[in-house]
Amino acid sequence: MQVCSWVRNQPEFYLKYHNEEWGVPSYDDRELFELLVLEGFQAGLAWITVLKKREAFRVAYDNFDVQKVANYDDKKIAELIQNTGIIRSKSKIISSINNAKIFIQIQKEFGSFSNYIWGFTGGKIIKNTNDKIPVSTPLSDLISKDLKKRGMKYVGSIIIYSYLQAIGVVDDHETTCFRY
Ligand SMILES: [Zn+2]
């Protein structure tokens, strides 16, 4: 069975993520928030590094309950910085809490974060048609700009493009991959 080149000869959990989750359209705000936080933590690291810590993140972050995360106080921040299971970046941790507050504002404005993010393509999935996978596109530039304007951090265009691939707004499976 052919898979995308980036998961060939990789650990089972990484392959499973590719096979079952990557590029599958998500409309669930909890999932959309989880992936937004994880992509933000990825900045400067490999995705596999973040994915390896995903379960620890879920425990540390109340299963990515956005309301709870938005209310994290200094005591909780100190706890997260000491948590060796996750990525201990003070700046990323503080940004994730600030981003949670903005995520909630977007939910209020659009009814859901899903409505907001899928609104950029009118609900359409952008499917890869060749194997030259970009690192960012005008669409990710636009969303990145809008999220930054709203006050989010760690939402640069490359992070957002990777996010769009993860949540299935963009389907970038290679043409030879069985998921294509
Ligand atoms: Zn694939």
DSSP 105-125: HHHHHHSSHHHHHHHTTTT--
- 39, 116, 118, 163: the catalytic one is 39
* CA of residue 82 to ligand 1 center, whole Å: 36
What pLDDT score does 88 carry? 93
Q: Which H or E element spans position 162?
A: helix 157-166
What pLDDT score does 116 carry? 98
* CA of residue 41 to ligand 1 center, whole Å: 23
Q: Examine the residue annotation and report whether 22 is marked as an active-site residue of this protein.
A: no
* CA of residue 76 to ligand 1 center, whole Å: 38
Q: Examine the residue annotation and report whether 34 is marked as an active-site residue of this protein.
A: no
- What region does 64 belong to: left with phi over 0, alpha with psi -120 to 50, or beta? left
Q: What is the pTM of this model?
A: 0.96
Cα–chain-centroid distance for residue 79? 23
- pLDDT tens for the chain, 180 residues: list them: 899 999 999 999 999 999 999 999 999 999 999 999 999 999 889 999 999 999 999 999 999 999 999 999 999 999 999 999 999 999 999 999 999 999 999 999 999 999 999 999 999 999 988 778 899 999 999 999 999 999 999 999 999 999 999 999 999 999 999 998
What are the residue boundaries of the structural domains of the chain, listed by start?
5-171
Distance separating alpha carbons of residues 67 and 110, to the nearest angstrom = 17
Q: Examine the residue annotation and report whether 39 is marked as an active-site residue of this protein.
A: yes
Q: Would you give the DSSP letter of residue 17?
A: H
What pLDDT score does 131 carry? 72
What pLDDT score does 129 carry? 81
The correct CATH number of 5-171 out of 1.10.1740.10, 1.10.340.30, 3.40.47.10, 2.40.10.120 is 1.10.340.30
Residues 35, 41 contacting (CB under 8 angstroms)? no
- 6, 14, 27, 47: the catalytic one is 47
* CA of residue 63 to ligand 1 center, whole Å: 27
